[in-house]
Structure 1
Amino acid sequence: MPTFLQLLFLVPLTLLPIINPVGVAPIVINAAGGNDRVLKRLSRQVAVNGWVVIMASMLVGTYVLDMFGISLPVVRVGGGLLVAYSAWVMLTRNETDDVQTAVAESANTDLSEAEIVRRSFFPITFPLTTGPGSIAAAIALGAQLPRSPLPYLMGAGVAAIGAAITAAVVYLVYRNGGRLLMRMGEVGTLVMMRLMAFVLLCIGIQILWTGWADLNHLPL
C-alpha cells in the first residue's frame, strides 16, 4: 500500500513540472480563437488526450519501443525537433498572419466535437503538453509497476488516478489561464505568445540536446 500511495503522488509530481501547463496556455487560447466556449471544450479535450498519452506511455511504452528498436534518446531527439519547429513557426509568423488566423477562427466558433479533437491533438497535446520529456518520464514510471498480474492491475489503477489528477490540473490551468490571457487583450496576448514561443524554442533545443548527448553515450 505505501508503494501504491507513493506512485499516486509521484505521477503528478513528476509530470507536471515537465508538462508546464502555464507555458502552453497562450497557445491554447490562440487555438481557441478567443472564444470562451471553445476554450472550455478545447481545454477539456487536451486534458483527455493528455491522460490517454500518459497512460499509454506508462502501460505499453516500454514494450512498443522495444518492439521497434527505438531508444528513449531517439524519442527525445524527434520530440525536440517537433517542439523547436512549432516554436519557430510561432516566432516567425507576422502580425498579418495573426490577424488572418484570428478572423478565420472567429468566423466559425461553433466547432464540432470532431473538429475540436482534430485541433487539440497536434501540436497542443503532442508535443507541447505531453511531449517527449513527459512521455519518457511516464515510461520510466511505468517500468516501476509490479509484473505480477494482481499487483500490476492495482498499480495500473493507482497510476490511472495519478494521471487523472495530472490531467485535471492541466485542464484547470488551460481553462483559467486562457481566460486571464483573454483579459490581456490582443496586444498583450501577442507579446506573451512571442515570449513563450522563445521559451518553447529553448525547451525544444534542450530536449534535442539531451537526446543527442544520450545517444553519444550509447553503443550503436
Structure 2
Amino acid sequence: MIVFFKAFLVVPVAMLPLVNPIAIAPIYLSMTGPLDPVTARRLAKRIAINCFFMLMGAVFVGSYVLDFFGISISIVRVAGGIVVGMAGWKLLNDQSQDKLRSSVAASSHAGQWTKEELQRRSFYPFSFPLTVGPGTIAASVTIGTQMPHKPIDWLVTSLASALGVLATTLVIYFCYRFAHKMERFLGDVGGIVLLRLSAFILVCLGIAISWAGISELIKDLVTELVS
C-alpha cells in the first residue's frame, strides 16, 4: 500500500506544477473566444481525454519511443521550450486578445464549433503544447524510467501511476470547464492582467525548459571532451 500511494502521489505532484491549469485557463479562454456551454464542456472533456492519453503514453512508452528515434530528453526540452516560449510571446504581444475579451463580455452571441473543428483544435494547440508541454512530457518520461522491474511492484506502480494521471487530467478538466466563471469573477481588467501575466510566465517557462535542455547538452559535451 505504501508503494501504491507513493506512486499515486508522485504523478500529480510532479505534473500539476508544470501543467498549471489554473494559470493557463485565461490563455485558454482567450484562444477559444466565446463558446456556448455545450461546446465549452465538450472541448474541456476532449482536452482532458487527449491529455490523459498523452501522459499515459509518455509515462509508459515515452522512453522507448525516444530511444528508438535516438532523441534524448534534453533535445525534447530544448525544442519544446522554444515552442512554448513562442506561444507565450505571441499571446503577450497580441493586442487583439484584449479586444476579444472585452467583446466577449459585451456580446450575447455564443460561438459554436463543428465536431471536426472541435476534435482538431482540442489537440493542437490546447492539449499540446498549451496544457501538456515538453516539460510535462519530460517529467512523465522520467517517471516512467523509474518503474520497478519486479513484476508485482511494476503492476502496483503502473496502476497507481495510471490513477495519478487520471487525477491530473480531472484537475485539467475542471479548471477548463469552469474557466469562464473565473473570468466573470475577475472581470475584464482582471482577466486581461491575468492573461498577460500568464503569457509572460509561459515565455519564462519556455526559456527555463530550453535552458535546462541546453545545460544538460553542454554537460554531456564537456563530459565527452574530458573523457
Deviation of residue 185 (structure 1)? Answer: 4.0
Cα deviation for residue 158 of structure 1 reads 2.1
SS in 1 for 2:148: coil
- Secondary structure class of the residue paired with 1:147: coil
Q: What's the % identity of the aligned pairs? A: 38
Match of 1:180 in 2: 182
- TM-score for the superposition, normalised by structure 2: 0.85
Contact 2:36 2:112 (C-alpha < 8 Å) held by counterparts: no
Q: Is the 8 A contact 1:32 1:42 kept in 2?
A: no
Aligned partner of 1:144 in structure 2 is 146
Q: Which moved more, 1:180-189 or 1:86-95?
A: 180-189
Partner of 1:116: 118
Distance 2:159 2:176 in 1: 26
The CA distance in 2 between the partners of 1:114 and 1:150, in whole Å, is: 42
Q: Structure 1 segments of 4 or more deviating over 6 A? A: none
Q: Residue 213 of structure 1 corresponds to which residue in structure 2? A: 215
Runs (5+) with no aligned partner, structure 1: none
Q: TM-score, normalised by structure 1?
A: 0.87
Please report how far the alpha carbon of residue 35 of structure 1 lies from its aligned counterpart in structure 2 after TM superposition.
2.5
Q: Aligned in 2, Cα 1:107/1:149: closer, same or farther, shift over 3 Å?
A: farther
Which residue of 194, 203, 206 maps to 2:205?
A: 203
Partner of 1:14: 14
CA RMSD of aligned residues (A): 2.5
State the structure with more CA Rg: 2
Superposition pairs of residues 36-47 of structure 1, within 5 angstroms: 36-37=36-37, 38-47=39-48
TM-aligned CA deviation for residue 145 of structure 1: 1.9
Shift in Å at residue 93 of structure 1? Answer: 1.4
Residue 173 of structure 2: aligned partner? 171
Residues 60-79 of structure 1 aligned to structure 2 (within 5 Å): 60-79=61-80
Measure the CA separation in 2 of the matches of 1:61 and 1:189. Answer: 36
Structure 2: runs of 5+ lacking an equivalent: none
Q: Could you tell which deviates more after superposition, 136-145 or 74-83?
A: 136-145
CA 1:188/1:34 → structure 2, altered by over 3 Å: closer, same or farther?
A: farther
Q: Deviations over 1:64-105 (max 9, x none)?
A: 1111111111100011000111011112212388549x78xx
Which is further off, 81-90 or 168-177? Answer: 168-177
